[in-house]
Structure 1
Amino acid sequence: MIERWNRDQVLALAPDASSQKAAQGVSSPGKWSGIGSAADSVWGECKGSGSKPYRACVDLSELAYRCSCPSRKFPCKHALGLLLLWSADGVPAAGAPADWVAEWLDQRRERAAKATGLAAEAAEATRAGGAGAGPADTRRAEQREQRVAAGLSDLERWLADQIRQGIAGSRRHDYWDDLAKRLVDAQAPAVAGTLSRLSSVLNGEDWPARLLSEYALLHLLCVAHRRLPAAVAASGSAVVDPGTPAGADGTGLVRRVRERVGFPVTKEEVLAGETVRDLWDVLGRRDEEQDRLIARRVWLRGRRTGRAALVLSFAMTGQALDASLVTGTTLDADLAFYPGSAPLRALVAVHHGAVSTGFPTASTVEQALDEVAAALAGDPWLDSWPVVLGPVTPAGRGPWHLAGSSGGIPLHPSTGTPWRLIAVSGGRPLTVAAEWTPRGLRPLITWDEEGQVIVL
């Protein structure tokens, strides 16, 4: 049986603020008929503007929605309203789903089984190696390596020029556009993306220090890529094996550098590697928009292993993002990690179901900082990491921070005054899940005295 979510967790699923408001407007029992809930699903019919009510249902085991309304938002207000009613214990239990719900659930299970089989076949093909690559493939790969090397060499010289000339002239938001386009042509898309986002550092008063810090990391990446041949030779392998464990033979760092440059790692490669089964706490999520593309970052942490994980999904503006991982829940799953010196990004390989196991294990401030330092040692370009702190209290009047017995960590400037966190705390210590960034913590969730999840 899926543990019932609270109102905060349901509203966190909404694609925007207007959907949250609309969902609350259709969450009253009088709007619904034929409602019911089973072990892994909830359904009902909501009265709308037409003659026929809208049929809405939700698969709770691997969060998916279906509604007969014409809305292009996902989830729509009816699915959210139904979940709000369910969270308030307003949906009666039923022995089995309605026929139209059971049919949809069966179709989902069949598609999932087929997809799992195809993924297993693709992973087996990846394990078999790339022996089928022909001369044309090899030639294209060599040409890309040459373009990337030339593009990063130009970037390294450009950075040296910036330091010699000074950065006073870089206050224009389009200052890096031409350089980013050249790196796209050089087939180094990740570096180009980093350059295109540099304009955001100009918004703060400390922009010179932040810009120099970004330049330093770009220079470090250029130098690391230039020295890759020596690193590969030292590892004793001419090829970077995607299945090599993090840090083994030094190839983990090689893969990390190539990933930061923009050499992709396919899902098949990731799924072909080892998986880690654990009870994974979903600590929170954050959406970021860049050039009409929205990236969703969902943070997880393993109960038994203590491992941090980041599940990424992408969608064009206006399209639905993956909402299968619900903030504040715990799932029993196998995760497959992308290779690297500090493995963090992961895919959910097998979802065994949701569980209810209480609070995640918290770290002291000192322990959390030690963990972040170790992660940065493996990946100097790391810009975020999930932490669970406790017991801590929000403190400060100017720069706010989370204070514990072994010190404190400042909050990110964009957090402002953390009123919601202060209200939950009431001066008492809390357990807080947060996203560490170089500029401070972004609080994700906390728990009140009754153990209810509070989304921050």
Structure 2
Amino acid sequence: MTTPEAADAPAERWSLERVRGAAPDAASLAAARRLTAPGSWSDCGVSATLVWGKCQGSGTAPYQVSVDLAGPAYRCSCPSRKFPCKHALALLMRWSAGDLEPGADAPDEAAAWARQRAERAASHAAAEAGSQDPVDPAVEAARAEAAAKRRDERLARMDAGVEELAVWLTDLARTGIAAARQRDLTWWESAAARLVDAQLPGVAEEVRALGRTVRHRADWAEHTVDVLGRWWLLVRAWRRRGDLDAASAADLRAVVGWAWATDEVRAGETVTDVWAVLGAHRSTDGGLLEQRTWLHGERSGHVVQVLDFAARGAPVPVARTVGSRLEATLALYPGHDPRRALLVAEPVAAGDLDRLPGGGDLAAARARRTAALAANPFVRRVPVVVADARVLPGADADTTGAVTVVDPAGRTVPGVATGADEEEVTGAVWSLLARTGGHPADLFGELQDGVLRVLAVGTGDGVVGL
């Protein structure tokens, strides 16, 4: 079968650094390296938008592997829940090394998959641009009335939940935080469950998190006072939410966990720009896997985060490659910077990022965090770029990922290179140390609780995610 993709010139070959940046973790990258031998592969090729091949695994039939470069997006018939899996990474490594020849015919499965992705993107764009069928005014009024009733009922439950939180905080302050530290997890879980019932899931998760960590943190007293102060501020702000401006009200809504409907966000502020992928981080919170991807608009100057979620065991959407540039329209959630955003349609690849934008020293990074807190006192993490920084390993860097970041003026901040488990932490921290080699480099990360979580490194060779 001759495909439209095959008629075009082959795509610009990815660098090995870009392939490494696409890996979901260090273990997948190590496994992929072991699969790059030519004897494992057959029927490989590359077109303007596709890379494909078959990799022989332990079974009789080889795995069918495809990469849609326009996303990028990854497809493999193996049972792995990681995206990209080790087979897709190995295929990209072979392409990067020049081992794949341009193919005249993409396999039917790969071509059909790419075509379906393109059709879905086109259909979605057409639906966004097209007009909707007229709605009966009476039906629309009934729907609006029902929605208003549901909103009022939810607000009543939330009001009651916030007042119960205020009583709980008052009792906790009266008995002392030392007594709270001795409580078992069921006490914290009981309080969190009541908040969930009151439709305050964001606060409930913070209560659970404090219960899990209060016994183990060396700075537990200071940390607990900070968290309790944040919750009391939330109580006071909720009581006066009618006096807040729109952005502050949206910040408050986010911290209590009242989600926005996607249609509401799409109908709001949108920005079309070339977006540089600065860094990405995955974390597991309870049974939910969260993926944060930070983007910088080259014309608008916006730095936004795109959040993706998946239940434990389910695949999370594929992360955009750190260091890539995407032409895309984003819909921005209401609130103060740094704002959350979502993609309006599938982005178009626009090359690679030469260097991290807008770098400064640690004083500038801390000033950025101070400004963000002044606008939104509930902000947890602030994206920053520290220019010409040196990275020094901590004594227990292998197991904790702890490092020290030093700026040109000699200022320091504790840093961390994080992973999902000890193996990934080890891979991330040594990748960070190897890429910097004791020399100055630009770092992108999240400044949170006085610690810089390093997500990407910018050197003369481009920008690479950890």
TM-score range, shorter chain: 0.7 to 0.9
Offset at residue 154 of structure 1 (A): 1.3
In structure 2, what is the equivalent of residue 434 of structure 1? 445
Q: 1:135 to 1:294 in 2, by over 3 A?
A: same
Distance (Å, rounded) in 1 between the aligned partners of 2:268 and 2:142: 20
> How many Å separate the matches in 2 of 1:161 and 1:222?
15
Task: Give the deviation of 1:297 after TM superposition.
Answer: 1.0
CA shift, 1:223, in A, is 0.6
Give the letter for the 1:32 counterpart.
W
3-state SS in 2 of match to 1:109: helix
Report the 3-state secondary structure (helix = DSSP H, G, I; strand = E; otherwise coil) of the residue aligned with 1:43: strand
Paired residue for 1:247? none
Which letter does structure 2 place at the counterpart of 1:104?
W
Selected match of 1:385 from 374, 382, 386: 382
What residue number does 1:48 align with? 57
1:31 to 40, 43, 48: 40
Deviation at 1:115, TM superposition (A): 2.7
Query: Partners in 1 of 2:301 and 2:295 — Cα distance?
Result: 10
| Matching residue within 151, 160, 175 for 1:165 | 175
Give the Cα separation in 1 of the matches to 2:169 and 2:410: 37
1:345 aligns with 2:349: no
Deviation track 1:235-293 (CA, whole Å, cap 9, x = no partner) reads xxxxxxxxxxxxxxx21111211221222211111111232222222122111112211
Instruction: Indicate how the Cα distance of structure 1 residues 135 and 424 shifts in structure 2: closer, same or farther if over 3 A, else same.
Output: closer
SS of equivalent to 1:447: strand
3-state SS of the aligned residue for 1:179? Answer: helix
Partner of 1:176: 188
Deviations for 1:363-403, whole angstroms, at most 9, x for unmatched residues?
A: 21233333222221221111112212212222586885323
Q: CA deviation at 1:145?
A: 0.8
Match of 1:293 among 271, 288, 304: 288
Residue 407 of structure 2 is matched in structure 1 by 404
- The CA deviation at 1:50 is 4.1
Matched, 1:208 2:227: no
1:149 to 155, 159, 163: 159
Correspondence for 2:70: 61
Residue number among 242, 249, 253 corresponding to 1:254 in the alignment: 249
| Structure-2 residue corresponding to 1:240 | none
Q: Assess, with a 3 A threshold, how the Cα gap between structure 1 residues 82 and 228 changes in structure 2: closer, same or farther.
A: same
Structure 1 residues 112, 205: CA separation in 2 closer, same or farther (over 3 Å shift)? same
SS where residue 168 of structure 1 aligns? helix
**C-alpha separation between the residues in 2 aligned to 1:72 and 1:141?**
38
TM-aligned CA distance change 1:132 to 1:367, over 3 Å: farther
TM-score normalised by the chain length of structure 2? 0.84
5+ residue gaps in structure 1?
A: 232-249
Structure 1 residues 108-257: aligned runs within 5 Å: 108-119=117-128, 133-171=143-181, 172-202=184-214, 203-231=216-244, 250-257=245-252
Q: CA deviation at 1:406?
A: 4.8
State the SS of the aligned residue for 2:185: coil
- Higher mean alpha-carbon deviation, 60-69 vs 417-426, is at 417-426
Q: For this pair of structures, how many residues does the alignment match?
A: 435
> Once the 2 structures are TM-superposed, how far is the Cα of residue 71 of structure 1 from its aligned partner?
4.3
Does structure 2 conserve the Cα–Cα contact (< 8 Å) formed by 1:394 and 1:400? yes
Structure 2 unaligned spans of 5+: 1-9, 396-401, 419-424
Question: 1:326-372 CA distances to partner (integer Å, 9 max, x unpaired)?
Answer: 12222122221100133511112231323234113232123333322
Q: In 1, Cα distance between the equivalents of 2:55 and 2:43?
A: 9
Letter in 2 for 1:54: Y
Aligned to 1:318: 313
Residues 157, 100 of structure 1: alpha-carbon distance in 2 compared, 3 angstrom cutoff: closer
| Matched position secondary structure for 1:345 | strand
Alignment partners' CA distance in 2, 1:162 and 1:25: 55
Q: Per-residue deviation at 1:310?
A: 0.6
> Offset at 1:14?
4.5
Alignment of 1:259-278 (within 5 A): 259-278=254-273
Q: Distance in 2 between matches of 1:453 and 1:19?
A: 20
> SS in structure 2 opposite 1:89?
coil
Which residue of 2 is the match for residue 242 of structure 1? none
Give the partner amino acid of 1:408.
R
Q: Please give the per-residue CA displacement for 1:150-194, whole angstroms capped at 9, x wherever unaligned.
A: 110111121122222111122333431111111111111111122
Give the superposed CA RMSD: 3.0
**Alpha-carbon distance between aligned partners in 2 of 1:328 and 1:256, rounded to the nearest angstrom:** 29
* 3-state SS, counterpart of residue 334 of structure 1: strand
Separation in 1, partners of 2:134, 2:13 = 41
Output aligned runs, 1:75-94, within 5 Å: 75-94=84-103
The residue aligned with 2:365 is 368
Cα offset, 1:9, TM superposition? 4.5
CA contact (8 A) 1:225 1:258 kept: no
Task: Give aligned-pair identity as a percent.
Answer: 37
- Asked if structure 2 preserves the Cα contact closer than 8 Å seen for 1:282 and 1:326, the reply is yes
The amino acid of 2:150's aligned partner reads R
Whole-angstrom CA distance in 1 between matches of 2:11 and 2:78: 26
State the distance in 2 between where 1:329 and 1:169 align.
Answer: 50
SS of residue in 2 equivalent to 1:194: helix
User: Which amino acid in the other structure matches residue 289 of structure 1?
Assistant: T
Question: Which deviations, in whole Å up to 9, do the C-alpha atoms of 1:408-452 show, x marking residues without a partner?
Answer: 351246769955434433342211111111231011111344x14
1:359 to 327, 341, 355: 355
- Contact 1:62–1:324 at 8 Å: present in 2 too? no
Cα distance in 1, alignment partners of residues 59 and 189 from structure 2: 50
